[in-house]
Amino acid sequence: METLGLALDTTFDDTSVAIIRGKRELLANVTLSQYADHAEFGGVVPERASRKHLEVINPLIAEATAKAGVKLEELDWIAVSHMPGLLGAILVGLTVAKSLAYQLGKPLIGINHIEAHPYANQLVHGELPFPLLHLVAAGGHTLLIHQTDHFEWQVVGRSVDDAAGECVDKVAKMFGHAMPGGPVVDRMAMEHSPASIRFPRPLMNDPGANFSFSGLKTAMLYYLRDNKDTLEEGPILSAFMESVVEVLAVKTLRLAKELGVAAVTLSGGLAASQRLRREFEERSKKAGIKVYVPPPGLCTDNAAMVGSLAAYRFEANRVDDLTLDGQANLLT
Amino acid sequence: MTATIEPNALAIDTSSDYLSLAVAREGITVASYYERLGKRMAGEMFGVLDGLLQQAGIGLSDIDVIVAARGPGSFTGTRLGLAMARTFAQGQSCPLVGVDTLRLLAAQAEPEPGAIIHAALNSIRDEVYHAAYRWDGEILIEQAPVSVMALEDLVTSAQGNPVVFRRFLPPKKDEPEFPPELVSATLRHPHPDGALLLREGLAMYANPGQEGLPPAEPIYLKTEAFRKWKP
């Protein structure tokens, strides 16, 4: 019989609860975003995020169980993202998860939020063939992860400075767009041509697997300074986004060929970008490499991907005890 | 589970460096824990809870009422206890009583009928969290709600009435543990521990007053030092 699990994610500024049957039957996935709460500060305020998580998480659990038509007593496991992220925020979800696990006498499964992002693809596309190369562009992370089996993975490339999504949001802010500005930049990139504007492609021809985006952000600053009188937002942002997606796609697919992986996956908030998805679609066809992407709703932080990975961990009896701690950083 | 006058109850306080838990069977405290765990709190609290329930000879599902500390105190710490308490209460549909930490301090004092008792928890830069209560028999009635004030204003406000004063942060070098300008209350209970929290919570539960019980929500008060940072 297939198991029933509940997953929580409070690693950053979204509170998310999911209920999943088996490995991919999503019975509920409810997420409360805190964009509006932090908008006036221009970024996420950690203490504010933690307070909001506590305020909403129990009502969200009630909403999720009602939506799924299940009772807490029917659950077989409780999963929670315990790293990486804002520690105060993580501790809210972790404590709630531990409380549920203790109360129900069911196992607790701690999940690495970054490891969970690619599992949005397992959830939607079914069992994916290993080995895989994942591009995870999520919040403060831009990572290339080589996975040879479930639970067997390593980071093989990363941004050495700004994350790609971070860079996009910061450029959006330069044009006066409220956070998160990424979707606005993406829309501009889809609606406008870059014309004759061209931004640098940092590290694109570097044979290594790392990225760099802070120079691109600086290039935009200088462009805006030097072209004050001839600014047309659409083509500029289109050219900027073209640079970002080209670097990401070229380097990812090049590494995929070198590693001889069966497929590539995209995940994380930036994977919701239509422009990025189009770039990967075009280039992967030419390269003969299969690319999996989740629907946009499963790219941004969500508990469904946490639940998907947790279901595999439960099957493999990889569970934790109630001394599990939260961890802010990805790598110790 | 129906509420009874002498319920099985669980008290949780993580608003300071101390993990404070207590279990009551039929209204009588039968097990309690009060230790300074600091950063070990999140990792150890469930193991301690389990041991305490075993010691009390009951399970979590036997609990009729949950009492939890709301702060003021550590923001992160307060959230741990409330996250646990709220989840337990949700899971077994039982009442949750929130008790502020100043009331808990005041409850340490020997009751004096009709007298005013002040409770203060120091923060930084000579500021305190403060509230005042009046004894009505063994029940504390709030006279001044929880607020932040300078220590010197507490001296004025207390007007020689007894004060229960607790340091959230250790005293500075050469700073006395108890400010000599204040009159110390006679304590009948040495620590603001889980047993005391149980007693106060159950007293509030049995006597909710006309306005009912306060919401079991955290109290986040800012001292002047943090007021420049918007919440």
Tell me, letter by letter, the H, E, C secondary structure of A289-303.
CCEECCCHHHCCCCH
Mean pLDDT for chain B? 89
Whole-model pTM: value is 0.94
What is the nearest CA distance from B84 to chain A, expressed in angstroms? 6
Measured between alpha carbons, how far is B123 from B138 in angstroms, rounded to an integer?
29
Residue A53: predicted pLDDT: 96
- Strands of B127-136's sheet in order across: B139-150, B127-136, B116-122, B162-167, B183-184
Higher pLDDT, B135 or A256: A256
Taking CA atoms, what residue in B is nearest to A56? B83
What DSSP string describes A140-157? TEEEEEEEEETTEEEEEE
Residue B163: predicted pLDDT: 93
DSSP A284: H
Higher pLDDT, A179 or B88: B88
The per-residue b/e assignment along A170-201, b for 16 or more CB within 10 angstroms, e otherwise, is bbbebbebebbbbbbbbbbbeebebeebebee
What is the nearest CA distance from A29 to chain B, expressed in angstroms? 19
Q: What percent of chain B has pLDDT over 70?
A: 93
Task: Note whether A58 contacts B44, CB cutoff 8 Å.
Answer: no
In this complex, the residue of A62, A91, A103 whose CB is nearest that of residue B60 is: A103
Task: Note whether A102 contacts B220, CB cutoff 8 Å.
Answer: no
Task: Note whether A41 contacts B46, CB cutoff 8 Å.
Answer: no
Task: Note whether A103 contacts B87, CB cutoff 8 Å.
Answer: yes
Measured between alpha carbons, how far is A49 from A33 in angstroms, rounded to an integer?
10
The SS3 call for residue B109 is strand
Mean pLDDT of B24-36: 95
Measured between alpha carbons, how far is A232 from A214 in angstroms, rounded to an integer?
22
Taking CA atoms, what residue in B is nearest to A324? B43
Query: The tokens of B98 are what?
Result: 């929130």
pLDDT along chain A (332 residues), means of 10: 95 96 96 73 80 96 98 98 96 98 98 97 96 92 97 96 93 89 93 92 94 94 87 92 97 97 97 97 97 96 97 98 95 59
CB-CB neighbors (< 8 A) of B44 in chain A: 323
Residue B3: predicted pLDDT: 43
Nearest to B213 by CA among B63, B103, B90: B103
DSSP A108: E
Taking CA atoms, what residue in A is nearest to B60? A103
Alpha-carbon radius of gyration of chain B: 17
Which CA distances in Å does B163 have to B55, B102, B127?
35, 11, 15
What is the nearest CA distance from A243 to chain B, expressed in angstroms? 37
Task: Note whether B79 contacts A62, CB cutoff 8 Å.
Answer: no
Residue B210 has pLDDT above 90, yes or no: no
Question: Structural domain boundaries of chain B?
Answer: 9-101+191-227, 109-184
Task: Note whether A325 contacts B42, CB cutoff 8 Å.
Answer: yes
CATH number of B109-184: 3.30.420.200
Measured CB to CB, residues of chain A less than 8 Å from chain B are 41, 45, 47-48, 50-51, 54-55, 57-58, 61-62, 72, 88, 91-92, 94-96, 98-100, 102-104, 322-326
Residue B223: predicted pLDDT: 59
Measured between alpha carbons, how far is B135 from A170 in angstroms, rounded to an integer?
57
Task: Note whether A99 contacts B75, CB cutoff 8 Å.
Answer: no
In this complex, the residue of B44, B83, B88 whose CB is nearest that of residue A323 is: B44
B9-101+191-227 matches B109-184 in fold: yes
In this complex, the residue of A72, A91, A103 whose CB is nearest that of residue B76 is: A91
The per-residue b/e assignment along A16-50, b for 16 or more CB within 10 angstroms, e otherwise, is bbbbbbebbebbbbbbbebeeebeeeeebbbbbbb
What is the nearest CA distance from B223 to chain A, expressed in angstroms? 15
Measured CB to CB, residues of chain B less than 8 Å from chain A are 42-44, 46-47, 49-50, 60-61, 75-76, 79-80, 82-84, 86-88, 90-92, 217-218, 220, 230-231
According to DSSP, the residues that pair with A138 across neighbouring strands are: A141
The SS3 call for residue B142 is strand
Taking CA atoms, what residue in B is nearest to A86? B76
- Domain B9-101+191-227, classified CATH 3.10.290.10, yes or no: no
Residue B175: predicted pLDDT: 80
